[in-house]
Structure 1
């Protein structure tokens, strides 16, 4: 075994997105096809759950959220190659920063929309101004 193999372990034990997994082009295509199959399966499952009576009505949003989180995980690992390995620390930090920015924008937008009514002129005064 070379030093590279000892550091990262056997190629078969590597995560799907691990850059040090090596392997042939055929192995990489298999990983992408597996990711595609999982992504399509999760998408079809989402549409099926939304259109069927399998899940109790109020539980449908929770089921769709769970499938969406699984879909995000599939895309991160199989297509964006973000894994928990030490060489992916910068990618993981960039992803976390991006998620933070998106959350700030969404939470800020919801907060502003929730407080719009408070900052608006009462309807009776607005009607008096239009006359």
Structure 2
């Protein structure tokens, strides 16, 4: 087996394989996996078979798995050397989203700490 043939077989699921039928198959597999994870998360909320406090943790795990499915099968984020720009763009996007969310939470926490309490704000103010 030559090195080119070995490299051709050693691919991640979201990587382009060349034929349109194979690409459609990977999209279909990603769709089935994503729908399966969605159905499992709805099942986890509605069932009483799971320990109550463990449901949010399970949903977080399922959400992270779903993000992984989307990244690999639909956005074709792989670990190949030709995919470095996509990974850097994804990391930059995650950084920006984190900064916006963290900054918003910080601003809201400071506003909450510096606001006048509601009963004092609602009472009529008397001037001397």
Provide the rounded CA distance (Å) in 2 between the counterparts of 1:115 and 1:105. 15
Q: Could you say what the CA RMSD is over the residues aligned between the two structures, in angstroms? A: 2.3
Q: Are 1:59 and 2:78 an aligned pair? A: no
Q: 1:16 aligns with which of 13, 16, 30?
A: 13
SS of alignment partner, residue 37 of structure 2: helix
Q: Are 1:75 and 2:66 an aligned pair? A: no
Provide the rounded CA distance (Å) in 1 between the counterparts of 2:95 and 2:126. 43
Provide the rounded CA distance (Å) in 1 between the counterparts of 2:59 and 2:7. 37
Q: Which runs of 5+ in 2 are unaligned?
A: none
Aligned positions of 1:1-131 closer than 5 A: 5=4, 9-10=7-8, 12-19=9-16, 21-22=17-18, 24-126=19-121, 127-129=123-125
Give TM-score scaled by structure 2 length: 0.86
Alignment length (residue pairs) = 126
Instruction: Give how far 1:112 is off.
Output: 1.9
Residues 79 and 121 of structure 1: CA distance in aligned 2, closer, same or farther (over 3 Å): same
Q: Which runs of 5+ in 1 are unaligned?
A: none
More helix by share: 1
